[in-house]
């Protein structure tokens, strides 16, 4: 299947490792020109060495001046055709224990600054009559994950924003979708399993096995499996898919 991605300009956020890196690699392999952004530009330079079509960019999503500088830089050459909204997850914690400062700081980095960046890049997509905006959220927006109050709450705002925007720009050829990872085997998941093992005094292999046991597929997903879905949504072939959320979770969510 020709995905029609050859020569498309794509911005992938949170692309120094994990899901963002897998998505950036997948889009580049399909011929897209990828701007891969994260705070650790050196890590992007390391994984993209020898890969055609990837431009590493230093970006801290918590710093609005850096977000605006990136938009300025991209708009000098007409902006981008595809945006993948992704970034770091917030720290764990209960809803009752979360304080106002944490809500505000993480809402800025995970939502407000991304909405702002996308809003700046959107008019160029509308003028061309073609665009793709894809946000990485979490299965926690459908089934809130205990002790991840900031994630469950802020990512739900991304869902509401995406659906509202999807309706506003569908007639301009711009699609807006959200992809929900369940448990995809990235470094972050290894770190979470290690933290759970430390907290409970259990062996990390037992913690990971118990976690895999809750997934109908019986295993963690591969970053490439997640990136394949995002790449399809970014493609010309997905032009009639908009305002949707798509799970990549091995069946974890307990409803259809
Ligand atoms: N993997 C899963 O199964 C899963 C499940 C549910 C939700 N998620 C969410 O999906 C997202 C990606 O997951 P992942 O497993 O790939 O996470 P990850 O390995 O922690 O990667 C996060 C990426 O975001 C970047 N980042 C973090 N803070 C940033 C900031 N302030 N500005 C710019 N970039 C920033 C990181 O790079 P730098 O540190 O270099 O900036 C890194 O490239 C996360 O938000 C995660 O919580 C993942």
Work out the average pLDDT over 94-105: 97
Does any ligand 1 atom lie closer than 6 A to the CB of residue 27?
no
What confidence tier does 22 reach under pLDDT thresholds 50, 70, 90?
very high
Comparing CA positions, the residue from 125, 142, 141 lying closest to residue 133 is: 125
Predicted local confidence at residue 164, as pLDDT: 99
Does any ligand 1 atom lie closer than 6 A to the CB of residue 109?
yes
Predicted local confidence at residue 58, as pLDDT: 98
Predicted local confidence at residue 174, as pLDDT: 99
Does any ligand 1 atom lie closer than 6 A to the CB of residue 64?
no
Predicted local confidence at residue 231, as pLDDT: 99
CA of 85 to the centre of ligand 1 (A): 10
pLDDT digits (tens, 9 = 90+) for 41-59: 999 999 999 999 999 999 9
Substitution site in 24, 34, 38, 134 for ligand 1 pocket (most atoms within 8 Å of beta carbon) = 38
Q: Is CATH 3.40.50.720 what the domain over 9-184+223-245 is classified as, yes or no?
A: yes
pLDDT digits (tens, 9 = 90+) for 121-168: 999 999 999 999 999 999 999 999 999 999 999 999 999 999 999 999
**Does the pTM of the predicted model rise above 0.85?**
yes
SS3 letters across the chain = CCCCCCCCEEEEECCCCHHHHHHHHHHHHCCCEEEEEECCHHHHHHHHCCCCCEEEEECCCCCHHHHHHHHHHHHCCCCCCEEEECCCCCCCECCCCCCHHHHHHHHHHHHHHHHHHHHHHHHHHHHHCCEEEEEECCHHHCCCCCCEHHHHHHHHHHHHHHHHHHHHHHHHCEEEEEEEECCECCHHHHHHHHHHHHHHCCCHHHHHHHHHHCCCCCCCECHHHHHHHHHHHHCHHHCCCCCCEEEECCCCCCCC
Sorted by where each begins, the domain ranges of the chain are 9-184+223-245, 185-220
């Amino acid at each position: 299947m020709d995905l029609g991605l050859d020569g498309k300009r794509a911005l992938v956020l949170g692309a120094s490792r994990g899901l963002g890196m897998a998505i950036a690699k997948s889009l580049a392999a399909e011929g897209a020109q990828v701007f891969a952004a994260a705070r650790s530009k050196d890590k992007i330079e390391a994984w993209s060495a020898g890969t055609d079509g990837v431009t590493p960019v230093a970006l801290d999503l918590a710093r609005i001046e850096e977000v605006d500088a990136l938009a300025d830089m991209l708009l000098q050459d007409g902006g981008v055709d595809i945006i993948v909204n992704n970034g770091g997850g917030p720290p764990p914690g209960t809803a009752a224990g979360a304080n106002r400062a944490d809500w505000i700081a993480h809402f800025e980095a995970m939502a407000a600054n991304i909405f702002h960046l996308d809003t700046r890049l959107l008019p160029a997509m509308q003028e061309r009559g073609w665009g793709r905006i894809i946000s990485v959220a979490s299965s926690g927006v459908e089934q809130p994950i205990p002790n991840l109050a900031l994630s469950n709450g802020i990512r739900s705002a991304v869902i509401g924003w995406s659906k509202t925007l999807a309706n506003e720009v569908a007639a301009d050829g711009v699609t807006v979708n959200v992809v929900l990872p369940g448990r995809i085997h990235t470094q972050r998941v290894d770190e979470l399993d290690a933290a759970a093992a430390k907290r409970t005094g259990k062996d990390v292999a037992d913690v990971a096995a118990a976690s895999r046991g809750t997934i109908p597929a019986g295993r963690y997903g591969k970053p490439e499996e997640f990136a394949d879905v995002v790449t399809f949504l970014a493609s010309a072939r997905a032009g009639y898919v908009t305002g949707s959320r798509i799970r990549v979770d091995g069946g974890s969510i307990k409803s259809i």
